[in-house]
Chain A
């Protein structure tokens, strides 16, 4: 008999009690120790581990970290711990394949191997971004859903109800807004001719997330529900409420956790170890059947710095080589640069190439890292790019991927702090034809040609 959510809840009430600061510092101390024990070293000259030998050691260190300190429940101020036997049973019990979507739009999301030849599942759309109004929301959703290179799309938000009432998390306005606007996503995929396409959305609180599930007009059992682990190695009951709903309703649970370079993980080596431990937390504590074990850098607002690519790529590779779990990479989901710029495309490509080659899917959408209150800050072309790059990277070996990634880093890594802001949908798409303006299309084609020449196998 494996663990259940209720065993996890019990341990969150009976596990060792400790201050959050004590737990945080234990992450640092233990990762430093494990880094030395396993001889884990990050070499910036090699942003990808091209043999997998290092990734195996990172995976082992991540396991040891999770078994040693567990996950911290911020609700009960206790550590949730499992034994090695329980961890192995949980990993073994996880499905190696799930189905998402419905009818002809249904896709299989299976464990992917490193340099695997299976296509990854790609869920794009401008993730959780604000839209100016319902009509614009529908238009952008529909155009994203029409992009054939992707398998699903993310929903976003409106900043006001009826243009006057503010949406505030944790209040009735949040539930009203999220549950009402999710129907626009459903109408848009139907209008795009892909009614069974995967739709994903996630609200700040569990009640508003749960309120979006409605087989007729909202999210369905064939989509997934998000249960997020807090950085680093933490969980709150609000996250586990989403898990509880997913388990009770038979909805696949997708988990997300990020280690933090510069945070309590400290170094890139520490962040790689914590990324693996975070992935294991998502499987055991959050009951996720697919999950992202990524990282963020506390100093730079992008997910594709050289260090982040190494951390996430190594953690994914470690997971892929040592388990049969379904891993989500999505490293290229939040570029520093905005839409309509070459830098956005370079950053996005670097992340998605690493995700795909290292054995992951990419399901976390497209969006500039910081969007603030700017509405319609993205276009369907970034979704097309995400899908095309993920699929064109399939079957590529790690050495070639590293060569391309180094080329891409050369294009953007010195411009991450002052990345170009890009532009909004209104200025990047012709509002009459609803096609990219010629300048944006040309820029897109130029970057695509560049990457094709470097070896990306675009289908068109």
Chain B
């Protein structure tokens, strides 16, 4: 929690914004964000203080069973709305770019539950997430990552016989000479840390919580 340079009055306002996001109260959150803008609080500071902290708390609530996937989706959408309000007075050139993650379940695999959780948690964790869905071919992952100038590709697989498609994406990136442009994280029921190492992935996420931590570490996000 960053508190340096925030007056007690401003902190009260930012705490109200944070509390409204955590409570998933869109009306209160929008009103608080408008007040923050009107007061002239540094928007970047407000984002770091209120939204980033709210994302951590929402993640903790999910981890302990108080919140579920729908609440993560709602909080992710709410954070987008609030961020847009806070950023409206910042010149585009000065906007801090979010790290972009392309995520999906690999080809021939239609399992979506784990991938949806990771996708939603990453979004709540402050990343810009592009979810390509399930049964996604290697070429689609790579094309989207190139188009979006993404920072990471996250690949989910729930079947032993679809795990080779995780390797295929990494091999294709290497063949195209762009392996270094994107970090690759893998996960899914049968996938292990050892397998990630074996196929040359940059990281392995055992579950949604770990995936967010790993992504933050790998992409040097505070």
Contacts and interface: CB of A to CB of B under 8 A. Distances in A.
Given A298-B69, A373-B195, A263 B160 contact: no
Given A74-B134, A262-B65, A298-B117, A372 B191 contact: yes
A263 B113 contact: yes
Interface in B147-203: 159-165, 189-192, 195
Nearest to A267: B68
B69 A262 contact: yes
A169 B161 contact: yes
A266 interface: yes
A204 interface: yes
Contacts of A298: 68-69, 113-114, 117
B68 A262 contact: yes
B109 interface: yes
A174 interface: yes
Contacts of A371: 190
A169 B70 contact: no
Contacts of A169: 107-109, 159, 161-162
Contacts of A260: 69, 113
Interface in A215-264: 230-232, 236, 238, 260, 262-264
A222 B117 CA distance: 39
Interface string A256-283: 0000101111110000000000000000
Contacts of A262: 62, 65, 68-69, 117
A296 interface: yes
A89 B71 CA distance: 37
A327 B112 CA distance: 25
A459 interface: no
Contacts of A230: 110-112
Contacts of B134: 74
Chain B contact-residue range equals: 20 to 34
A264 B159 contact: no
A130 interface: yes
Contacts of A236: 110
Main secondary structure of the interface of B (DSSP, over half): loop
Contacts of B68: 28, 262-267, 298
Contacts of A299: 63, 65, 207
A138 B134 CA distance: 34
A130 B163 CA distance: 13
Contacts of B195: 372-373
A232 B113 CA distance: 8
Given A170-B108, A299-B65, A373 B190 contact: yes
Contacts of B107: 169-170
Given A262-B69, A264-B70, A267-B68, A231 B189 contact: no
Interface string B38-61: 000000000000000000000000
B62 to A, nearest CB: 8
A157 B110 contact: no
Given A168-B165, A264-B70, A231 B112 contact: yes
Contact of B160 (A25, A157, A264, A265): A157
Interface of A: 20-21, 24-25, 28, 74, 130, 157, 159, 166-171, 174, 204-205, 230-232, 236, 238, 260, 262-267, 296, 298-299, 301, 370-373
